[in-house]
Structure 1
Amino acid sequence: MTENYQLVDNAAEQPLSMHPKKFAMWLFIVTVVMIFAAFTSAHIVRQASGNWLEYDLPSLFWSTSVVIIASSGFMHWAYLSAKKNDFVKVRIALSITFVLGMAFLIGQFMAWGQMVDAGVFFVGNPAGSFLYIFTGLHGLHLVAAVIYLLYLLVSSFKLKVNSENMLNMEMCSTFWHFLGGLWIYLFIFLLLNH
């Protein structure tokens, strides 16, 4: 009986540990999920109330979706290379991820041009407003991720990204994959609900 008490007591003394920066990042990710869940719910409710503009999604959304998926693959390659201390591959993979991230942002901006050409504006019908909010808010988060990625790329040239120092790589990789997944969710949502 005493042994059982000691086991329980030892387990209680060992708290679950997570780096404070990782914990803050996960809280931020949960917040972003809640924001987009609220917006997608509001989209469905507003669409059901009528007076909804029917429009075709910009064709560039297909291309930018492929770009963001590819960038996630290169980010994972960078992560695996960092764990193996393969510094050349880390730099190559992070550089490609950065270029693809910029290509995604430029593609999304050009997609806004396609929306304007199709007569879908931010002001006017709520259908267009939601589309601009979804893409703009996601793009804003991706800008933050690209800046973080640039910081990580510079750090990789200083050999600060290695198997002994993976915190920033893990955080950037997690955030990047999250934003890629979020875009795919939004794109599918828009395909089904526009």
Structure 2
Amino acid sequence: MNVILIFLAAIAAIIIWWLSGQRLTSKPWLETGSVQLPDHIGAERLQPPAVKIGLFVFLGVVGAVFSLAVSAYFMRMASADWWGMPVPRLLWVNTAALALSSAALQWARREAGHGRMESLRPALTAAFALALFFLVGQVQAWRELVSAGYVLADNPANSFFYMLTGLHGLHILGGLAVLAHTTVRAFSTDVAPERLRLSVDLSAIYSHFMLAVWLLLFALFAGWANDFVDLCRTLLT
């Protein structure tokens, strides 16, 4: 339960911080000197915040799903039939690849904001290639564990590892589909800069979130999360 509350509190803090920067709590009817904009301009300016709010709501749901799964992991590991499994060294390489992919998307986000298409295209390509490398590495890690005898139905620890990494991989795959579409559009000559900038922005936010989820899962599998939870319990008591 403590893990769920900590994770959801972090997500809520991020959402509140972002919404505070969108002036959603402002009172425009109390402001002076406002200019009435045409309908089509107002619609264009309202669309990006709406899309971002939708993304943040979706990420909140995803975060809740992972937090429930992590909570179930902690409760299940207290059972007598739980045997820990080793963490493949390849996961370190995969983690580095995912972090570099997120950094490349942040680079692309900055380049898109300045309209530098020559730098935006290689940044998006690098982010896509690194995220794809992460997925391939995850599959290879699965193969190494299976060949070592750590199959899915052997014990609950194995089942949770495959379930959580598989669920995370599916979300990465969905993000890759969007990123591939954004990368193809970046190489097009008739793409609108505003829409491309929004797509890159959303892809970067999604990538950062999935990196944070993976770091949590990696700490869980490596055993570091157990020490953190014990520390939190000690501080709270």
- TM-based fold match above 0.5: yes
Q: Find the aligned partners of 2:222 and 2:177 in 1 and give their Cα distance.
A: 29
Q: What's the CA shift for 1:66?
A: 0.6
Q: What's the CA shift for 1:103?
A: 0.3
After superposition, residues 19-168 of structure 1 pair within 5 angstroms as 19-159=49-189, 160=191, 162=193, 165-168=196-199
1:88 is aligned with what amino acid? E
Q: Find the aligned partners of 1:24 and 1:131 in 2 and give their Cα distance.
A: 29
Counterpart for residue 5 of structure 1: none
CA-to-aligned-CA distance 1:18-74 (integer Å, 9 cap, x gap): 632212211110011111100110011010122112221111111000101111111
Unmatched 5+ stretches in structure 2? 1-25, 31-45, 227-237
**Identical residues among aligned pairs (%):** 30
Q: What's the CA shift for 1:12?
A: 7.8
Native 8 Å contact 1:64 1:107 kept in 2: yes
Which secondary structure does the structure 1 equivalent of 2:77 belong to? helix
Higher relative contact order (CA 8 A, sep 6+): 1
Q: How many residues align?
A: 183
1:39 is aligned with what amino acid? A
Q: What's the CA shift for 1:182?
A: 1.1
Counterpart for residue 183 of structure 1: 214
- How large is the Cα RMSD of the aligned pairs? 2.0
Counterpart for residue 4 of structure 1: none
TM-score between the two structures when normalised by the length of structure 2: 0.72
Which secondary structure does the structure 1 equivalent of 2:85 belong to? coil
Q: What's the CA shift for 1:120?
A: 1.5
2:143 is aligned with what amino acid? G
Q: Find the aligned partners of 1:70 and 1:118 in 2 and give their Cα distance.
A: 29
Which secondary structure does the structure 2 equivalent of 1:166 belong to? helix
Q: Find the aligned partners of 1:58 and 1:148 in 2 and give their Cα distance.
A: 29
2:27 is aligned with what amino acid? A
Q: Find the aligned partners of 1:89 and 1:82 in 2 and give their Cα distance.
A: 9
Task: Give 4+ residue runs of structure 1 displaced > 4 Å after superposition.
Answer: none
Native 8 Å contact 1:22 1:171 kept in 2: yes
Which secondary structure does the structure 2 equivalent of 1:124 belong to? coil
Native 8 Å contact 1:138 1:183 kept in 2: yes
Unmatched 5+ stretches in structure 1? 1-9
